[in-house]
Structure 1
Amino acid sequence: MSLIKENILLLPSDPVRIGFIPLIDCAPFVIAKEKGFFAHEGVDVVLSKEASWASIRDKVAFNVLDGAHMLASMPIAATLGIGTIKKAMQTSFTVSHNGNGITIGNALYDELQHYSDSSADIRSGAALKKLIDSRDHQAVPLRFAIVYPYSSHNYQLRDWLSRVGIDPDKDVQITVVPPVKMLDALKSGEIDGYCVGEPWNSLAVEQGVGHMLVTGYEIWGSTPEKVFGVSSVWAEQNEPVHLAIIRALEKACAWVDESANQPELLSILSHPDYLNSTVEQLVYGFSAIKPKGQFDWPMEAYQRFSGSEINKPLPSYALWIMAQMHRWQQLEEVPSLNDVAEQVYRKDLYYKALGLDMDDDDSWRLSSGIEPNWLEAVSSGDVRLHSEGILKGFNE
């Protein structure tokens, strides 16, 4: 499919195969293709709709795809060999911040009413803690879904639960469900709640089958959600093409964030080749259109796609994600956290692609005195993410 009307002459090159998951935050990849941003950079891109994050990971690892729309934590997990074969991956471009939420089904919400004095008790998880404490230990645990074990969704859900004393590994059951199947799983009672990106939280509210409790922004502040990820070998062997793709995505992200473009954006995304949804189902992920339903998103919680503070890959976030992996028993030790963060989150290539002078800011680096204890310091709560997100750093 192509909505481009004019013919654009491409530079001679093999097609670049980029995978995506049909979520709202695949928008920059779709727009870069449909509005000709890839073509204007001389790159012939073929987009491939994929069914799961595991498929994305494996196809990039085995060179079936050249790159992909990825969870921000995925290049780190692959590089460290967590949950998969060890394959060096990297990102030089952050596609989006924010967009996640935690939603529960009506049955659980109604039950929580008996354990709360206000809606704040339900949204904070305090009522859920009381409910769990009151249940028979032989009862089937409450079931929450996430999109992938090595994702912000998993870590944000676990963080939210743990803040009120709920043990995510003992008190509830956490399972993986593809985003597009979560709403049906909630309707059928297969799961009691989930942490997922939009539009699946707002759609649950609109369809009257669930209640959204909290956004990812309210848990972690503004943090990277999706990135453009590639294998490190591919990036090294195809640097001119790689840098051209970064430039095209930067232009596409700015186009996506422009409110005047959003009617056309929703029309393009709704096509069967992409999200295969109605325009009405897609309005929730974009701040220019006020969402319906009982839960109004804080403006800061919407997905953000453009600006150097959004698109620049942040090694500091790689440090934070590795600490979350350690906190939840996915990662033991790393020889050099600083080295891994710098090798995976390549802000040097971001600057090179855009023709900018590289900044000398290395304040993200952990000092030699702090680095050996960093993972444990985060796990124990001695180091926390700033309430406004990774752009503000950490609190000790």
Structure 2
Amino acid sequence: MVNFTSEKPSLNVGFMPLTDSAPLVVAKEYGFFERYGLDVTLEKQNSWATMRDKVCTGLLDGAQMLAPMPIASSLGLDGQRIPMITPFVLSRNGNAITLSHKWYAHLGEHRLNDGQPVSAKAIVPIVNKKAEQGEKLRLATVFPYSCHYYQLLDWLSAGGIDLNQIELIIIPPGNMIAALKAGDIDGFCVGGPWNAFAVRAQLGFTAATSSDIWNDFPEKVLGVLASWQMQNPQTCKALVHALNDACHWLESIPNRFEAAQLLSGSQYLNMDLNIIAPSLLGSCLTYKDLPPRQIKTYNQFADSESVNFNCPSLEDGSWLLEVMQKSGHLANPTHAMSQLPHIYRQDLFHEYFSVSQDLAPR
């Protein structure tokens, strides 16, 4: 056991039942938390807003969070300003855009083929058809301040679609399938395993993944209150080291299959292995009768050749601030940029792993 003399060895850590919660589940089930003297209880959450609120009120010591969430919380974009930090990137990529199966026949020559993603240009006729009926294409994402939201906007814009013709709504990940099946939405951008679930259930098709839109951008991070880290510096260090070990364990493809089996348990995703495993193994299910796309980077957790792969770099944070401004979520980028070093704590990552500050961000 590696002992960092943790100030608070017993922790409650939140996670969402998603494929990229794998580092937390692996760290729990295979003893990585215990290796660093931590007794961690993983608490499954139903929505990102609930997760944020529980961290902010101290009901959770920390949580798996969307990469923009610590920024939004620290700047008060989603309500009360509560300083939050991330010292560690848990995963990169992992999201996908799924559209209702009823629209697949309308893609024409732009249908899925040759392992290529579908451009949003392919759905322009669908958007126009809805507009003629006085309706908008209704798409869902999981949280306003999320890579899902911004990736969906970028995908639509790249296809020349007027965003005024799109209705965007927020739905927790676990409710996406029911909404799609009921016809309440025309599609969604969400993390695994819900895209694979829609394909397996013949409810939708996967048009594009985050690897196609923002390849290797941070997706989930460890989020804790700034005050919590100051009060528990050794505990935070131990927590990050345990998660880092789990992320590197997940570099192995055979290990990922083991992780998929863990995730299928009722206390975690409570879902069939054939829905959870594909993205972990670099396979993107696309449509009911089509072969999957091979996307090696579909879920990324670590890279032994990149010492800063799990570092929450200021470069990534700055780019994210630009995206948030472009999307109308951020009015004062100058103030936000000055606060970024206090949120995306690459300095803590470098301290924890003795990484030179002069190294490239990743």
- Tell me the TM-score normalised to structure 1 length: 0.83
User: Where does residue 359 of structure 1 map in the other structure?
Assistant: 357
Separation in structure 1 between the aligned mates of residue 61 and residue 139 of structure 2, nearest angstrom: 33
Partner SS, residue 299 of structure 2? coil
The equivalences for 1:174-253 within 5 A come to 174-253=168-247
Consecutive unaligned residues in structure 2, runs of 5 or more: none
The equivalences for 1:74-93 within 5 A come to 74-93=69-88
Consecutive unaligned residues in structure 1, runs of 5 or more: 1-7, 365-390, 392-396
**Matching residue within 255, 261, 265 for 2:255:** 261
Q: Does 1:315 align with 2:314?
A: yes
CA contact (8 A) 1:97 1:310 kept: no
CA contact (8 A) 1:104 1:211 kept: yes
Separation in structure 2 between the aligned mates of residue 176 and residue 119 of structure 1, nearest angstrom: 27
Change (3 A) 1:257 1:301: closer
Deviations, residues 73-124 of structure 1 (Å, cap 9, x unaligned): 10011011112211111111100000111111111222343xx566589911
Change (3 A) 1:360 1:273: same
CA contact (8 A) 2:38 2:238 kept: yes
User: Where does residue 166 of structure 1 map in the other structure?
Assistant: 161
CA contact (8 A) 1:68 1:229 kept: yes
Separation in structure 1 between the aligned mates of residue 323 and residue 95 of structure 2, nearest angstrom: 17
Change (3 A) 1:241 1:211: same
The equivalences for 1:16-35 within 5 A come to 16-35=11-30
Deviations, residues 116-174 of structure 1 (Å, cap 9, x unaligned): 56658991111322332344455221110101111010000011111222232x10111
User: Where does residue 305 of structure 1 map in the other structure?
Assistant: 301
User: Where does residue 40 of structure 2 map in the other structure?
Assistant: 45
Amino acid at match of 2:300: R
Separation in structure 2 between the aligned mates of residue 135 and residue 241 of structure 1, nearest angstrom: 53
CA contact (8 A) 1:94 1:313 kept: yes
CA contact (8 A) 1:88 1:231 kept: yes
Alpha-carbon deviation of 1:288? 6.0
Alpha-carbon deviation of 1:302? 1.0
**Matching residue within 36, 54, 57 for 1:59:** 54
Partner SS, residue 123 of structure 1? coil
Separation in structure 2 between the aligned mates of residue 347 and residue 16 of structure 1, nearest angstrom: 23
Separation in structure 2 between the aligned mates of residue 35 and residue 222 of structure 1, nearest angstrom: 26
**Matching residue within 117, 137, 159 for 1:142:** 137
Partner SS, residue 174 of structure 1? strand
Separation in structure 1 between the aligned mates of residue 161 and residue 10 of structure 2, nearest angstrom: 49
Deviations, residues 317-345 of structure 1 (Å, cap 9, x unaligned): 11122112211111101344443221111
User: Where does residue 346 of structure 1 map in the other structure?
Assistant: 345
User: Where does residue 334 of structure 1 map in the other structure?
Assistant: 333
CA contact (8 A) 1:90 1:345 kept: yes
- Tell me the TM-score normalised to structure 2 length: 0.90
Amino acid at match of 1:201: N
Aligned length: 352
**Matching residue within 92, 97, 110 for 2:105:** 110
Separation in structure 1 between the aligned mates of residue 188 and residue 285 of structure 2, nearest angstrom: 19
Deviations, residues 325-372 of structure 1 (Å, cap 9, x unaligned): 211111101344443221111111112222x143225x77xxxxxxxx
Change (3 A) 1:55 1:235: same
Alpha-carbon deviation of 1:232? 0.5
Change (3 A) 1:205 1:251: same
Change (3 A) 1:12 1:63: closer
**Matching residue within 259, 265, 278 for 1:271:** 265
User: Where does residue 101 of structure 1 map in the other structure?
Assistant: 96
